[in-house]
Amino acid sequence: MSSIKVGAIMVSTGYIANVAGGTMGLLAKKTFEYHNPEIDLFYIEEPELIELSKKYEDELNKISPYHFFSRFRWWYAYKLLKEKTYDRVIILGADTISFGPCTELYNHKGDIGVTLDYDYANPYNGIMAMGVNGKLRHTHLNADVICFSNYNIIWDILNCNNCPVEGVYLEQGPLNYVYASNSYEYEFDVIDYPFGEYYYNVPSKGTEYETHYDRYMYKDPEKFFIKDNNVYHPDGTRIKIFHFCDGLSKSTQFKFMCSYYFEKMFSNEIVTYLENQTNIKLKGIWHA
């Protein structure tokens, strides 16, 4: 690791915290710590989040009186950067699995290192771009695997959407708006495959889906595999971070998604590999 000081924030709440007895959040935490021991991880569960939201209520209200829980991690990243506690701050979803060190993420160029969501456009972002493998795809960004080096961009993103309506895109809509808008001059570095060398987010699940509702069902019958102690996608690309995503799904859908990957897509070798790294039981638990 370079001389830069890196912190990371992970918030585990709601059904992600509760599915299979909290296994998903702990898996996200322990795999990240295993592969990134030099990074300080702030792992925040719901009781602590409630207390912190109360403690910093006045400061959070300067951004917006809405969505304390979802915005807290971004505001906390802003605080850590502005106070110069860290040079870079990573935000990582609690429904991720780290399969390697996130070197490319914290060594991003410019103001922010970003990763990809599903290959679609939304009202904020219809940008198409060419990846290094020559494939054209939408650069729709995902808000759950991201790294900041400039606190000003966090402030602008958080101030883009002061909407009281639940179920909106919270940080991800404003993130894509700032990325696509001509009103800002920040430098974004897309480090996810196919723009970078490794998978870091949703593309690790596959890119072609029958419908919106089965998009978490990767259709290739081949399984993910291990080579030289690294985990690879069936297409042969190494995975650094796997993201289950679909954070707005119902808990039953998320359970099904987890069971599908752990019982059908991830080989027994990969599941055992994760169990050995984390000391967490992962087999036969996802229907609980």
The full DSSP string for 34-97 is HH-TTSEEEEEEHHHHHHHHHHTHHHHHTT-SS-HHHHHHHHHHHHHHHTTS-SEEEEE-TTEE
Question: Mean pLDDT, the chain, as a whole number?
Answer: 82
The answer on pLDDT for 217 being more than 80 is no
Give the strand pairing for 241-243 and 96-98.
antiparallel
Give the model's pLDDT for residue 242.
94
DSSP-derived letter for residue 224 is B
Give the model's pLDDT for residue 111.
97
Give the model's pLDDT for residue 3.
86
Q: Contact, 145 vs 93, CB < 8 A? A: yes
The fraction of the chain above a pLDDT of 70, given in percent, is: 76
Residue-wise over 97-106: b if at least 16 C-beta within 10 A, else e? bbbbbbebbb
Q: Which residues contact 28 (CB under 8 A, 6 or more apart)?
A: 10, 12, 92, 93, 94, 95, 96, 97, 98
Nearest CA to 176 among 190, 196, 191, 195? Answer: 190
One-letter-per-residue 3-state SS of 108-170 = CCCCEEEEECCCCCECCECCEEECCCCCEEECCEEEEEEEECCHHHHHHHHCCCCCCCCCCCC
The answer on pLDDT for 210 being more than 70 is no
- Round to whole Å and give the CA distance between 145 and 180: 18
Between the ranges 48-62, 149-163, 190-204, where is the mean pLDDT highest?
190-204
Give the model's pLDDT for residue 235.
83
pTM, two decimal places: 0.89
Q: Contact, 259 vs 286, CB < 8 A? A: yes
pLDDT tens-digit readout, 238-287: 999 999 886 555 667 777 778 878 887 888 899 999 999 999 998 887 76
Higher pLDDT, 68 or 118: 118
Domain 6-202 has CATH 2.40.128: no
pLDDT category at 28 given cuts 50, 70, 90 is very high
- Round to whole Å and give the CA distance between 283 and 285: 6
Q: Where are the domains of the chain?
A: 6-202
